[in-house]
């Protein structure tokens, strides 16, 4: 088969290409360049990927493996579809998940369709720790990676159902250490390269710092749920639901960000008890499996959060109302909610609001 591999210059995508070549496939390395600045390190942690440095690393691996390698400059597409979205969402008082959006709009789903058209590939393979498998009664679905500590299926919840037919995730049944050992045995220079750990385009800055550089200060008030004004802020984009540190205000009890109102430019704070809710609204759900086949559903509202059993999902004029079996902490508009049945990813959507139960 003719398989393109999205090569980021890291160990995961490099081993993906290696494994597929060893299996006898025609492999083409494809690297997307999103930035024209070099990768930087702050306190030993990489803060940027898809940079010129990563392009060079990917090219070196391709030469080592003896496979063709091409670089596609998608800096403009990445800015328009991911970076601009990120900024706009924060200005609306929301906390977006740019990696999930990027997987749908740029480097996974969209890239697979693009390469099918221009390079006549059979599949696009990436280094995600997830699995794409045929499941009886459900069709081709994404399943969690075997290594739960590395599982990245959550970030694939927004990928379109039709794109699953074009995707392969060869590392889904492996652990990270297994992947590094394979790279070392093959003599790949990236075998011990550090992983990118933050949003790639922030380059060590906080979201608030990144956005303030672009739009300037937009001062407003910080108000307690009782109505009392406790202080002022430099911009709502410096805050996210559940945040405790860096509020710059004092109270007799610890305070957390409870809500963000872009219309009044107000950050609402309160005690931890106000962070809990058992219901959320999602405007649209990207279905990998039709809703009528869902059962014993759990939902994950952040990448590092535990899945919570779902009591019911109701279609309303405003979207889908999702009721949990218990209250969960910090439902955040803009974040992705991913739905699972066991380890099968059923689909997902962007959280619109936290609601009162009922």
- Whole-angstrom distance between the N-terminal and C-terminal Cα of the chain? 52
Burial, 168: exposed, middle or buried (Cβ in 10 Å; 0-12, 13-18, 19+)?
buried
| 352: its two tokens | 């619109």
Task: Provide the Cα torsion 47, 51, 104, 236; round to 10°.
Answer: 40
| 98: its two tokens | 């740019």
Nearest residue to 125 (alpha-carbon basis) of 112, 113, 135, 144: 112
Active site residues: 102, 200
Assess contact for 328 and 278: CB atoms under 8 A: yes
Instruction: Kindly give, in sequence order, each residue whose CB lies less than 8 Å from that of residue 10, ignoring residues fewer than 6 positions away.
Output: 49, 54, 57, 127, 190, 193, 195, 196
Burial 196-213 (b: 16+ CB within 10 A, else e): bebbbbbbebebbebbbe
Residue 249 CA: distances (Å) to CA of 83, 209, 244:
30, 19, 10
Q: Cβ of 89: how many Cβ atoms within 10 Å?
A: 22
H-only helix segments in the chain: 11-22, 52-65, 75-78, 84-91, 98-105, 109-119, 176-185, 207-215
Task: Provide the Cα torsion 297, 301, 303, 308; round to 10°.
Answer: -40
d(CA 303, CA 199): 13
């Amino acid at each position: 088969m003719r398989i393109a591999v999205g090569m980021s210059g890291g160990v995961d995508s490099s081993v993906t290409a290696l494994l597929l070549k060893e299996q006898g496939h025609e492999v083409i390395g494809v690297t997307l360049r999103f930035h024209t600045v070099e990768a930087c390190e702050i306190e030993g942690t990489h803060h940027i990927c898809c940079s010129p440095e990563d392009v060079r690393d990917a090219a070196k691996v391709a030469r080592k493996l003896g496979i063709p390698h091409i670089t596609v400059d998608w800096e403009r597409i990445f800015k328009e579809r991911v970076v601009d979205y990120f900024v706009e969402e924060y200005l609306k008082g929301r906390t977006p998940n740019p990696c999930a959006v990027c997987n749908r709009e740029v480097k996974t789903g969209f890239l697979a369709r693009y390469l099918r058209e221009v390079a006549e590939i059979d599949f696009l393979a990436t280094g995600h720790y997830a699995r794409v498998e045929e499941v009886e009664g459900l069709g081709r679905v994404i399943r969690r990676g075997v290594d739960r500590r590395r599982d990245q299926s959550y970030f694939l919840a927004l990928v379109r159902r039709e794109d699953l037919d074009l995707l392969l995730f060869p590392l889904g049944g492996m652990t990270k250490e297994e992947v590094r050992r394979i790279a070392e045995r093959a003599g790949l220079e990236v075998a011990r390269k550090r992983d990118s750990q933050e949003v790639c385009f922030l380059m060590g800055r906080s979201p608030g710092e990144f956005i303030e550089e672009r739009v300037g200060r937009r001062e407003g008030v910080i108000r307690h749920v009782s109505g009392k004004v406790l202080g002022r802020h430099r911009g709502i984009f410096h805050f996210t639901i559940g945040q405790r540190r860096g509020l710059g205000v004092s109270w007799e009890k610890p305070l957390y960000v409870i809500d963000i109102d872009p219309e009044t430019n107000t950050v609402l704070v309160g005690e931890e008890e106000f962070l809990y809710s058992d219901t959320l609204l999602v405007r649209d759900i990207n279905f990998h499996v039709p809703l009528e086949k869902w059962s014993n559903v759990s939902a994950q509202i952040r990448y590092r959060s535990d899945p919570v059993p779902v009591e019911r999902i109701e279609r309303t004029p405003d979207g889908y109302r999702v009721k949990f079996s218990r209250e969960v902490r910090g439902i955040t508009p803009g974040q992705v909610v991913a739905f699972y049945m066991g380890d099968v990813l059923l689909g997902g959507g962007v959280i619109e609001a936290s609601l009162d139960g009922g």
